[in-house]
């Protein structure tokens, strides 16, 4: 961690271009809000991270506190509320903050692709280091005006002249300032512009006019893409997904058609695992030496030495070990060890042990309308097809359950459980019922 670096993350904007009631920075990429990533990467470089909030501040703050409780408690992260009424804009957002360290890095919070390794490149003795994107079209960004090879100023799209609009050099929106310079010059900003806002970008022109050192740092859109709309959100997520999948592929995971696979931040995959096309892995799913087949979804569960799918849904709290799960099987809080459940089952709030076979269409009836109850099934149990297990219920080892049974009581070791309504067969009834001739 850098000893002399403070970081300010600007997250107070309304994000109107997102066309959403949810604050922009809470929109998710790979399962986590955009602001989560800005904070996560910042903490790798600094012990003094200030997050500036205003629009729906308490909602944003609560969300971040849930992810970074320890860092908030130890003062590494501080939340401040911008005086947005009097000082709107990215410059206004930084006013009133006193960074602890000699250098201050200012980040927009709508850049979920930033990485600490890229931010480290801002280290310099210059009074300002500013990030620059060379783009095909700089539409949506502030333009960097360069004359005779030197930066002159940054012009916002809404303030730009016709010729300035055609500039393809954009301000990426990340700056490192000498903290002293920042504190001395923020009060000098004005709002004489199209948006009547205090722009942080005006500090660049002020430094140039004062003959202070300015270092433009060319960065890539791959890492510094700004997200202002849902189109850009989806584009950023594709880049983010590719990064996650690339890391797992390098670590030895086999993926069939990786572009069709979705893996959230926080997922772990170990050993020799295979993910077929259309697989979705969510939250803290952990896959160890397992094969997840086409179009299956695994959420917040551990799967070890097992195969799952195609088209299976493993819901939170499941733990599958040495287990075979076939098509159209749903599990939730299911602890399965050495189990086979090949087809069409719901296994919720249950524990099933070694050598047990779950027949097609088996259902754990875990919910009585008010509470959830548990089903426990021992070893080497044969559960016939279309069995309903009405929880709470325990099936001991070595039990045989006949097909189509509804199990409402515990079954002791070695027993047969069978429920049967007597089968009637009435010859010729079809013809009588439909009034047809045989
Ligand atoms: C800003 C830059 C622009 C740059 C672009 C890069 C300014 C004036 N413009 O424009 O040159 O090309 O980023 O993505 O800085 N925010 C606040 N308080 C406010 C307004 C904004 O905290 O009063 C925060 C927002 O939450 C956001 C960030 O600052 O995270 C940037 O704001 P946004 O409105 O997206 O700025 P851009 O118009 O994209
Ligand atoms: Ca922006």
Q: Which ligand is nearest to the CA of 12?
A: 1
pLDDT in tens, 304-343: 999 999 999 999 999 999 999 999 999 999 999 999 999 9
The CATH architecture to which 5-218 belongs is Alpha-Beta Complex (3.90)
Neighbours of ion ligand 2 (CB under 5 A): 110, 226, 228
CATH of 230-417, one of 2.60.40.420, 2.40.50.140, 2.160.10.10, 3.40.109.10: 2.160.10.10
By most ligand atoms within 8 Å of CB, the mutation choice from 60, 84, 106, 108 for ligand 1 is: 108
Name the residues annotated as catalytic: 343
Does the structure show a pLDDT above 90 at 3?
no
* Closest CA to ligand 1's atom 22: 12
Q: Is 84 in the pocket of ligand 1 (CB under 6 A)?
A: yes
Q: How far is the CA of 108 from the centre of ligand 2 (A)?
A: 7
Q: What is the CA radius of gyration of the chain?
A: 30
pLDDT in tens, 52-73: 999 999 999 999 999 999 999 9
Query: What pLDDT sits at residue 1?
Result: 65
Give the integer Cα–Cα distance in Å for 143 and 225.
Answer: 15
If we measure between CA atoms, which residue out of 362, 350, 361 comes closest to residue 393?
Answer: 350
- Largest distance between two CA atoms of the chain: 105
Instruction: Give the per-residue pLDDT at 438.
Output: 81
Domain ranges (residues) in the chain = 5-218, 230-417
Residue 430 backbone dihedrals phi, psi, to 5 degrees? -55, -45
d(CA 377, CA 350): 8
Query: Is 388 near ligand 1, meaning CB less than 6 Å away?
Result: no
101-155 pLDDT tens trace: 999 999 999 999 999 999 999 999 999 999 999 999 999 899 999 988 889 999 9
CB proximity list for 90: less than 8 A, separation 6 or greater: 10, 108, 197, 198, 199, 200, 201
How high is the pLDDT of residue 2?
A: 64
Q: Kindly identify the ligand whose nearest atom is closest to the C-alpha of 143.
A: 1
Strand partners, 321: 304, 337
* Fold matches, 5-218 and 230-417: no
- CA–centroid distance, 92 to ligand 1, in Å, is 11
pLDDT band at 437 (very low <50, low <70, confident <90, very high): confident
**Is the pLDDT score of 24 beyond 80?**
yes
Ligand 1 within 6 A of 171 CB?
yes
Q: Whole-prediction pTM value?
A: 0.94
Q: Cα separation of 129 and 235, whole Å?
A: 27
Tell how far CA 326 is from the center of its chain.
Answer: 27
What is the DSSP annotation of 1-55?
Answer: --SSEEEEEE-----GGG-SSS-GGGSEETTEEHHHHHHHHHHTT-S-EEEEE-T
Mean of the per-residue pLDDT values of the chain: 96
Q: Tens of pLDDT along 343-394?
A: 999 999 999 999 999 999 999 999 999 999 999 999 999 999 999 999 999 9
pLDDT mean over 164-192? 97
Beta carbons within 10 angstroms of residue 391's beta carbon: 22
């Amino acid at each position: 961690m850098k000893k002399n670096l403070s970081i300010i993350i600007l997250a107070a904007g309304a994000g109107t271009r997102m066309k959403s009631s949810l604050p922009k920075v809470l929109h998710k990429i790979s399962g986590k809000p955009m602001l989560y990533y800005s904070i996560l990467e910042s903490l790798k470089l600094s012990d003094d991270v200030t997050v500036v909030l205003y629009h729906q501040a308490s909602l944003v703050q609560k969300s971040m506190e849930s992810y970074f409780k320890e860092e908030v408690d130890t003062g590494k992260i501080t939340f401040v509320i911008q005086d947005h009424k009097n000082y709107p804009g990215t410059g206004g957002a930084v006013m009133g903050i006193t960074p602890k360290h000699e250098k201050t890095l200012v980040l927009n919070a709508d850049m979920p692709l930033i990485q600490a390794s890229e931010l480290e490149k801002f280290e310099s003795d210059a009074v300002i280091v500013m990030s620059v994107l060379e783009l095909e079209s700089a539409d949506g960004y502030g333009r960097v005006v360069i004359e005779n090879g030197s930066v002159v100023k940054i012009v916002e799209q809404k303030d730009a002249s016709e010729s300035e609009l055609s500039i393809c050099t954009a301000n990426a929106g990340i700056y490192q300032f000498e903290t002293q310079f920042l504190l001395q010059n923020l009060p000098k900003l004005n709002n004489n512009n199209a948006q009547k806002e205090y722009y942080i970008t005006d500090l660049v022109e002020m430094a140039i006019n004062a003959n202070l050192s300015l270092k433009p740092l060319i960065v890539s859109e791959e890492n510094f893409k700004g997200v202002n709309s849902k189109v850009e959100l989806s584009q950023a997520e594709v880049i983010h997904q590719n990064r996650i999948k690339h890391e797992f592929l390098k670590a030895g995971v086999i993926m069939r058609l990786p572009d069709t696979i979705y893996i959230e931040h926080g997922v772990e995959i170990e050993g020799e695992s295979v993910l077929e096309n259309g697989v979705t892995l969510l939250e803290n799913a952990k896959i160890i030496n397992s094969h997840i087949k086409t179009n299956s979804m695994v959420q917040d569960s551990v799967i070890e030495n097992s195969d799952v799918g195609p088209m299976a849904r493993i819901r939170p709290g499941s733990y599958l070990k040495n287990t075979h799960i076939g098509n159209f099987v749903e599990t939730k809080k299911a602890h399965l060890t050495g189990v086979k459940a090949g087809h069409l089952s719901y296994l919720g709030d249950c524990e099933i042990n070694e050598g047990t076979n779950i027949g097609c269409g088996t259902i754990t009836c875990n919910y009585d309308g008010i509470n959830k109850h548990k089903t426990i099934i021992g070893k080497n149990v044969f559960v016939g097809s279309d069995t309903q297990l009405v929880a709470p219920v325990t099936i001991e080892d070595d039990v045989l359950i006949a097909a189509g049974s509804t199990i409402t009581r515990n079954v002791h070791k070695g027993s047969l459980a069978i429920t049967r309504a007597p089968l009637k067969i009435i010859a010729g009834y079809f013809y009588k019922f439909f009034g047809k001739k045989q």
